[in-house]
Amino acid sequence: MLSKWLIGDIVEKYTTDAPYEKVIESLKEAVKDNNFAVVGVHDMKETYSKKNLEIADDFAYQIIQICNAPKSHKALNSLSYDMGVMMPKSIIVSRENGKTTLRFMKMKPWMVSMMFPELDIVPMSKTVTGIMAKIVTDTLSKVKN
């Protein structure tokens, strides 16, 4: 419980009744609308199937990796190559109990500043977390229409 009190909720989670595939499609549009690009998609159902792991027929879980190339370039080249451990950003879309969920990690700015104490990255951390939240809320708005 101390960690929950100290850190708070690190995983931001949203749920919708919208179909899984529609959410994936709308998320990709919202990513583009917010000046990011999808740079990777990890379909965990496919990964588990290739390893002959048992999965439920309705299992659906994709890790969508996104990047804003100019901003990541600036962070790596102007701040530190170590910033790469925070890239690319991931948004997860899954099916749970008949609902579609979206989630992402929202690093607390003070946590990021402790990871990189020599850098003043709190403003950038707040901005990126805000954009991630906007991408997800934009996605939810798109699937309601």
49-101 tens-digit pLDDT = 999 999 998 999 999 999 999 999 999 999 999 989 989 999 999 999 899 99
Long-range contacts made by residues 29-35, C-beta under 8 angstroms, separation at least 24? 29/139, 29/142, 30/135, 30/136, 30/138, 30/139, 30/142, 31/64, 31/66, 31/91, 31/135, 33/138, 34/131, 34/134, 34/135, 34/138, 35/68
Please tell me which residue, 117 or 9, carries the higher pLDDT value: 117
What pLDDT, on a 0 to 100 scale, did the predictor assign at position 4? 60
With 0.85 as the threshold, say if the pTM is over it: yes
Which residues span the domain enclosing 105?
2-144
Q: What is the domain-level CATH number for residue 55?
A: 3.30.310.70
CA 85 vs. chain centroid, Å, equals 14
Tell me, what amino acid is at 85? V
Query: Which H/E stretch holds residue 140?
Result: helix 122-144
- Tell me how far apart the alpha carbons of residues 122 and 108 are, in angstroms, rounded to a whole number: 9
What distance in Å separates the CA atoms of residue 30 and residue 82, rounded to the nearest whole number? 28
- How many domains is the chain partitioned into structurally? 1
In angstroms, the CA 135 to CA 52 distance is 34
Give the Cα separation of 54 and 128 in Å (integer).
36
Per-residue confidence band for 2, with pLDDT thresholds at 50, 70 and 90: low
**Dihedral, CA atoms, 76, 77, 80, 83, nearest 10 degrees?**
0
Look-up of token digits 């595939």 = 21
Give the separation between CA 114 and CA 111, rounded to whole angstroms: 5
